[in-house]
């Protein structure tokens, strides 16, 4: 790349673009400041790259979902394919950042860097973390050795693989970590240090054809178990007619017996069922979950939490995958960790 890298910053709202009544208030409104103003506030960006910005959404990220992320992915892919940008930075709310980064990772087919960043404190706060995070995200997006690493998340000096990023705290600036696995690199001042050579999730770009697809993605229900809940939460999903349901079970993917019985029946009737877990560090393997006898038609989510599992399931259903084909799709993700227990579809 001759000269400075061209970096496109796409704003979607969130706390990084949030504003409060004063610099010390804990209350604020997300998505108040457009992306051009965010970059204009960081003079040092000029040293790193030729940066320009567009605002796609100005929303709290809880109001963004698959439809908006699909449009965002189309914009990112188009900008990279057309040579409009050498790398893209997406500013996003933290609440659903892990879903957005995971989802775009499944859709985008590019070697160029795509970096999500966010903030835990609004732009108007004393000690706002947004400007430093955005600076670091541009630093990573503009670096030639950030290529071929899939979608990344950069926050708080740390570079995370996008598909593994999870939000684990509601208030501190150190709100994200990678699970399973750890950080890929670190930004210190203007120095970027990688801890490992490039690699991507085994499903990176697997659903790129959806970028040209029509229509909404199929809605997938998520059910969270709680002690003594029986089958009722899953029955509500069945009655709502969801083509796919993710069960956030206990621990390793267990659930109350009446729910297991209903899940088995729904799977046999053609509903795509994925078993994940309500615990933070999800690890649901086919051999440990309830319904293990039905592992050919009921998928174990592996290390994916319920919200990421729902997005993967929705994309699989959108391309016409039958319930019986879903377990192999989920089974291929641990291959990226050197522990394959399934084959990729």
State the catalytic residues: 15
Q: Which is nearer to ligand SIN, 105 or 122 (CB)?
A: 122
* 14 vs 256 by CB, closer to ligand SIN: 14
What is the nearest approach in angstroms of ligand SIN to the Cβ of residue 54?
A: 18
Rank residues 29 and 74 by Cβ distance to ligand SIN and give the closer one: 29
Q: Is 12 in the site for ligand SIN (CB under 6 A)?
A: no
Question: Going along the chain, which residue ranges are E strands?
Answer: 5-13, 49-59, 87-91, 114-117, 151-155, 158-161, 165-167, 176-178, 185-188, 191-194, 220-224, 244-249, 272-277, 298-300
The site for ligand SIN, by CB under 6 A, has a size of 11
Backbone angles phi, psi at 252, to 5 degrees: -80, 15
Single residue of 49, 100, 104, 118 touching ligand SIN by CB under 6 A = 118
The residue from 87, 93, 130, 183 that contacts ligand SIN (CB under 6 A) is 93
In the complex, minimum distance from the CB of residue 11 to ligand SIN, in angstroms, rounded to a whole number: 12
Q: How far is the CB of 229 from ligand SIN (least distance, A)?
A: 28
> Does 156 contact ligand SIN by CB under 6 A?
no
Least distance (Å) from ligand SIN to the CB of residue 62? 6
Q: In the structure encoding, which two tokens stand for residue 132, read together?
A: 């430093």
Chain positions 16 to 35 lying near ligand SIN, rule: CB under 6 A, are 30
Q: Does 94 bind ligand SIN (CB under 6 A)?
A: yes
Q: What is the CA radius of gyration of the chain?
A: 20
**How near is the Cβ of 91 to ligand SIN at its closest, in Å?**
9
Contact pick of 5, 6, 8, 14 for ligand SIN (by CB under 6 A): 14
Query: In whole angstroms, how close is the CB of 31 to ligand SIN at the nearest point?
Result: 7
With beta carbons less than 8 A apart as the criterion, state whether 39 and 133 touch: no
Q: What is the rounded distance in angstroms from the CA atom of residue 290 to the CA atom of residue 57?
A: 41
Report residue 250 as tokens: 């206990």
Local structure of residue 248 (DSSP, 8 states): E
Residue 58: helix, strand or coil by DSSP? Answer: strand
User: Please, are residues 132 and 142 in contact by the beta-carbon 8 Å criterion?
Assistant: no
Q: What single string gives the DSSP state of each residue in 333-344?
A: GGGGGT---S--
CA dist., res. 168 & res. 179, Å (int): 10
Residues numbered 50 to 79 that lie near ligand SIN (CB under 6 A) are 60-61
CB atoms within 10 A of CB 4: 14
Q: How far apart are the first and last CA of the chain?
A: 35
Closer Cβ to ligand SIN, 110 or 133, answer by number: 133
In this chain, which of 85, 120, 203, 255 binds ligand SIN, going by CB under 6 A?
120
Positions touching ligand SIN (CB under 6 A) are 13-15, 30, 60-61, 93-95, 118, 120
């Amino acid at each position: 790349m001759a000269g400075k890298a061209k970096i496109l910053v796409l704003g979607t709202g969130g706390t990084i673009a949030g504003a409060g009544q004063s610099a010390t208030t804990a209350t604020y409104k997300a998505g108040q400041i457009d992306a051009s103003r965010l970059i204009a506030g960081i003079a040092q960006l000029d040293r790193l790259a030729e940066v320009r910005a567009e605002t796609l959404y100005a929303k709290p990220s809880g109001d963004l979902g698959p439809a908006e992320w699909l449009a965002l992915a189309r914009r990112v892919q188009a900008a990279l394919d057309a040579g409009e940008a050498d790398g893209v930075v997406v500013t996003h709310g933290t609440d659903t950042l892990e879903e957005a980064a995971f989802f775009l990772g499944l859709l985008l087919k590019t070697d160029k860097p795509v970096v999500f960043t966010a903030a835990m404190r609004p732009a108007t706060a004393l000690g706002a973390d947004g400007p430093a995070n955005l600076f670091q995200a541009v630093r990573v997006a503009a670096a030639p050795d950030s290529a071929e690493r899939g979608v990344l998340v950069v926050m708080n000096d740390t570079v995370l693989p996008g598909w593994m990023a999870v939000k684990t705290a509601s208030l501190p600036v150190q709100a994200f970590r990678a699970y399973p696995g750890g950080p890929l690199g670190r930004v210190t001042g203007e120095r970027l240090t990688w801890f490992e050579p490039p690699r991507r999730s085994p499903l990176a770009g697997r659903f790129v054809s959806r970028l040209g697809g029509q229509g909404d993605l199929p809605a997938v229900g998520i059910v969270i178990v709680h002690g003594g809940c029986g089958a009722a939460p899953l029955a509500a999903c069945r009655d709502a007619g969801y083509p796919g349901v993710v069960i956030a079970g206990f621990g390793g993917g267990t659930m109350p017996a009446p729910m297991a019985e209903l899940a088995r029946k729904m799977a046999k009737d053609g509903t795509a069922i994925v078993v994940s877990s309500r615990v933070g560090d999800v690890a649901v393997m086919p051999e440990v979950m309830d319904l293990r006898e039905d592992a050919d038609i009921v998928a174990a989510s592996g290390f994916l939490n319920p919200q990421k599992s729902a997005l993967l399931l929705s994309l699989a259903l959108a391309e016409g995958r039958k319930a019986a084909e879903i377990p192999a799709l989920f089974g291929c993700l641990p291959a990226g960790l050197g522990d394959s227990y399934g084959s990729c579809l």
